[in-house]
Amino acid sequence: MQLRKGFSLLEVGVSILILSIALLAIFQSLSFNNSNLELMKKKSFARQIIINRISSYNFIDPIRINSSRSFNYEFGSYTFLVFEEMSVAGPNEKQITIRINLNDEVISEYKSIVANG
């Protein structure tokens, strides 16, 4: 009787199949995490733009009631489209809306009702 050493072709094929499925799952997970990271980065930039715009209303660039405007805002490596609107919400209240778009997609939106002052 001869003693055989090594693996059969079936064993090698099954091990390659298992290895390829594991690698595919790892690469898919990395790709998903990378796209999530990019989205979170865009949302973080958009929120910072909103904070900057709100703080500028009081000191630098007030917006009038019943008016709207839009403009490009360079932040990071992106060019965001910022839409701002202020309207009357009640007898002594105004509503502020800020919407941040990137490539025709709304990244973040902020709405608030504040007292006239």
Q: What are the extents of the domains in the chain?
A: 9-115
pLDDT score for 1: 59
Judged by average pLDDT, the poorest of 35-39, 50-54, 62-66, 91-95 is 62-66
Task: Write out the two tokens for 32.
Answer: 């998903």
Residue pair 80/101 in contact (Cβ under 8 Å)? The answer is yes
Give mean pLDDT, residues 96-105: 92
For 100, other C-beta atoms within 10 Å of its C-beta total 26
pLDDT score for 102: 93
Q: Which of 3.30.1300.30, 3.40.50.300, 3.40.50.720, 3.40.50.1220 is the CATH number of 9-115?
A: 3.30.1300.30
Give the whole-number percent of the chain exceeding pLDDT 90.
44
pLDDT score for 14: 92
Question: What is the C-alpha separation between 56 and 59, in angstroms, rounded?
Answer: 5
Give mean pLDDT, residues 9-24: 92
pLDDT score for 117: 61
Would you say residue 83 has pLDDT above 90?
yes
Would you say residue 92 has pLDDT above 90?
no
